[in-house]
Amino acid sequence: MPPRLLALLTAPSLDRPAPGKPPFRFIDVEQPLVSALDLGVTRGDGVFETISIGGGRAQATGPHLTRLARSAAMLELPEPDLDAWRSVVYALAEELSGVKEAFAKLVYTRGIEGGDRPTGWVFAEASPDHTAARRDGVRVVLLDRGYAHDVASTAPWLLQGAKTLSYAVNRAAVREAHRRDADDVLFLSSDGFLLEGTTANLVLKRGDRLTTPATSLGILAGTTQADAFSFARSQGLTTSYELLTPDALEDAEALWLVSSVRHAAPIRAIDGVERPIDRAFTAALNEFLVGRRD
C-alpha cells in the first residue's frame, strides 16, 4: 500500500528562522501533530495549497507557492519561507516516486492562540482514483454565492481570492449538490456572473477559444487552469479571462471543472440538463496535466 507521509516545518516563516536546523522533519502520520489551541483548528485562521505529484515529480510548485504567499499576505500571516516549503514538497514527492498520481497538502496557520510562531506542515499520499470523473464527467448545480461580482474590491476583508482553511461553506455547498442529485457546484455571484466551483475553476470551450471567469471576481487564480490554457495554446487555441453570465454555458461546446488533483472533469449536466462532452480534447488535456513536471 502506498505510504501516507507527514512533515513538520521547523521554521515555516521568514521572520522566525532556525539557523543550523533542517527545514523540516518527518512525523509519524498516526501521531498527534496539531495543538487543540492552534488557530487553524479553532478559527480556520490559516491558508493551504494542494500540489499534484506525478511519478515522483511535483507539478506547478512555483505557482502554488506564489499563491500560498499571496493568501498568507491577505490574512496578514508572517511571510512564508518558500524555500523551506519547496524543500518539503520535493522530499515528499521523491518518497512517492513509485506512485503514479499523488498529492501534497500544505497547511500554514497562525499557530497557537496567544503565541507568536506560525505552524506549517505538509501531508502527502496517493491520489484518489478520478478516472470516472475525467472520463464520464460530473453533474453540477448552479448556486448563489451570496456576493456581488465586485466583492473583492468592495469588501476585501471577506478575503475572496485567498485559499483559506475556512471551507465550511464549500462543504455545505457540496452537500446541497448531493441533495439535488449532482456531484459538485458552480457558484454564481448574486448579480448573475459565473464564478468557480467549490474546489475547481470553470473552463469553457467555444470554437477555437478556451475561456474562464476573470480572477478580478474574487475567485482563486487556478494553477491547473493556467496549465490548461498553456496546453490549449499549444494546440492552436486562444485563451481569455472574461466576465461571463450563465448564457455562456448554453453557448459552450464543452465545459470543465479543473483542479490540481482531479485535473479536468468535464461537466456533463447543469441543473439536470445534459451537456456534451468533448472526449478527445478532455483525454488529451488530462494526459498533459497528469504528465506535467515542475
Spatial contact of 139 and 277, defined as CB atoms under 8 Å apart: no
For the chain, domains (ranges, CATH) are 5-126 (3.30.470.10), 131-290 (3.20.10.10)
pLDDT at 2: 63
Spatial contact of 258 and 224, defined as CB atoms under 8 Å apart: yes
CB atoms within 10 A of CB 73: 14
Partner residues linked to 116 by β-bridges: none
pLDDT at 87: 97
d(CA 212, CA 192): 15
Residue type, 71: S
Three-class SS state of 201: strand
CB atoms within 10 A of CB 206: 14
CA-nearest of 157, 148, 99, 124 to 290 is 99
- Give me the tens of pLDDT residue by residue for the chain, a chain 294 residues long: 568 999 999 999 999 888 889 999 999 998 888 999 999 999 999 999 999 999 899 999 999 999 999 999 999 999 999 999 999 999 999 999 999 999 999 999 999 999 989 999 999 999 999 999 999 999 999 999 999 999 999 999 999 999 999 999 999 999 999 999 999 999 999 999 999 999 999 999 999 999 999 988 989 889 999 999 999 999 999 999 999 999 999 999 999 999 999 999 999 999 999 999 999 999 999 999 998 887
CB atoms within 10 A of CB 173: 20
Burial of 160 (0-12, 13-18, 19+ CB in 10 A): buried
Whole-angstrom CA distances from 111 to 42, 67, 117, 127, 268 are 10, 20, 6, 28, 42
pLDDT at 1: 58
Collect all residues with Cβ–Cβ distance below 8 Å to 250 and sequence separation of at least 6.
none
Collect all residues with Cβ–Cβ distance below 8 Å to 96 and sequence separation of at least 6.
2, 3, 5, 53, 56, 102, 124, 125, 126
pLDDT at 44: 95
Spatial contact of 72 and 79, defined as CB atoms under 8 Å apart: yes
CB atoms within 10 A of CB 175: 10
Q: In which residue are the cell numbers 464564478 written?
A: 195
Residue type, 78: P
Question: Dihedrals φ, ψ of 133, to 5°?
Answer: -65, -40
pTM recorded for the entire structure: 0.94
CB atoms within 10 A of CB 79: 12
CA-nearest of 155, 156, 140, 237 to 195 is 140
Q: In which residue are the cell numbers 512533515 written?
A: 7
Three-class SS state of 129: coil
